[in-house]
Amino acid sequence: NAGVTQTPKFRILKIGQSMTLQCTQDMNHNYMYWYRQDPGMGLKLIYYSVGAGITDKGEVPNGYNVSRSTTEDFPLRLELAAPSQTSVYFCASSYGGRANYGYTFGSGTRLTVV
Amino acid sequence: EDKVVQSPLSLVVHEGDTVTLNCSYEVTNFRSLLWYKQEKKAPTFLFMLTSSGIEKKSGRLSSILDKKELFSILNITATQTGDSAIYLCAVLGLAYSGAGSYQLTFGKGTKLSVIP
């Protein structure tokens, strides 16, 4: 009963490097989300997807890209890492957009850009 | 733009105390309000509230929503050290102009510390 799995758990990047944060869920949820959480702040939505092949921008999409080729996977891509992208990233999923049972969150990826 | 404001931002209590955490919101097309508990890692779901005046209860935790005054409270009675966490309030609505579907807007959280 894995739920939402994120990898890696920690990563240090140099400015200008690129990387992909992986997220996979095994609950057959159609909605998936990427959030970032900065210290002392709430979670802010980066991108979301309502189903395979469909993605849309959230509140803070600049500097990120996503794809959703399957129901299970929703990777987040950073093309040119910047110090402002130092944050903790959470992937989440839900069955439907109305969060009737809450969102299920992954355990997070702590990213530091130096 | 949707806003969720939680208070206090941090709180230190002794074991056995009762605490009340507050969440006020301004949301376009409100659908529901959710409470999460965040310890060291991912937020975990506590409650979802959609109707005013109906208390949701789980053990020592309870929550209620007032849709007229646009706020919710989370009560924790007989606090224990294991209740130490950040409590996040989130509201499901059309979070910002151009949003294609309902989204959760999170408050900054209340950091609760329970000392023995």
Query: Is-contact B23 B4, C-beta < 8 A?
Result: yes
- The pLDDT value recorded for residue A96 is 74
Residue type, B14: H
Question: Residues A75-100: pLDDT tens digits?
Answer: 999 999 999 999 999 999 988 766 66
Question: Residues B43-95: pLDDT tens digits?
Answer: 998 989 988 888 999 999 999 999 999 999 999 999 999 999 999 999 988 75
Cβ within 8 Å of residue B98, ≥6 positions away: none
Which chain B residues are Cβ-neighbours of A101 within 8 angstroms? 45, 48
Cβ pair A99:B104 closer than 8 A: yes
Residue A84 φ/ψ, nearest 5 degrees: -65, -15
Reduced to 3 DSSP states, what percent helix, strand and coil does chain A have, rounded to the nearest 5? 5, 50, 45
If one compares B52 and A7, the residue with the highest pLDDT of the two is A7
- The pLDDT value recorded for residue B99 is 53
Cβ pair A102:B34 closer than 8 A: yes
Which chain B residues are Cβ-neighbours of A103 within 8 angstroms? 34, 45, 104
Phi-psi region of A9 (alpha: psi -120 to 50; beta: other; left: phi over 0): alpha
Considering only CB atoms, B48 lies closest to which of A4, A42, A99, namely A99
Neighbours of B113 (CB within 10 A): 13
A111 interface with B at CB cutoff 8 Å? no
Quote the percentage of chain A above a pLDDT of 90: 76
Q: Is the pLDDT of residue B96 over 60?
A: no
How far B59 CA lies from chain A's nearest CA (Å)? Answer: 18
Rounded distance between C-alpha atoms, residue A12 and residue A54, angstroms: 30
Rounded distance between C-alpha atoms, residue B61 and residue B55, angstroms: 10
Cβ pair A48:B101 closer than 8 A: yes
How many Cβ contacts (< 8 angstroms) between chains A and B? 65
Q: Which of A45-59, A66-80, B7-21 shows the lowest mean pLDDT across its residues?
A: A45-59
- The pLDDT value recorded for residue A60 is 92
Rounded distance between C-alpha atoms, residue B116 and residue B30, angstroms: 39
What is the token pair recorded at A1? 């009963």
- The pLDDT value recorded for residue B100 is 58
Decide: helix, strand or coil at residue A85.
Answer: helix
Distances (CA, A) of A91 to A6, A36, B41, B81: 7, 9, 12, 28
Cβ within 8 Å of residue A106, ≥6 positions away: A3, A4, A5, A6, A23, A90, A91, A92, B42
Residues of A (59-78) whose Cβ lies below 8 Å from B? 59
- The pLDDT value recorded for residue A50 is 87
Rounded distance between C-alpha atoms, residue B71 and residue B24, angstroms: 4
If one compares B30 and A112, the residue with the highest pLDDT of the two is A112
Bridge partners (DSSP) of residue B26 are B3
Mean pLDDT within A35-64? 90
Cβ pair B42:A100 closer than 8 A: no
A14 interface with B at CB cutoff 8 Å? no
- The pLDDT value recorded for residue B51 is 86
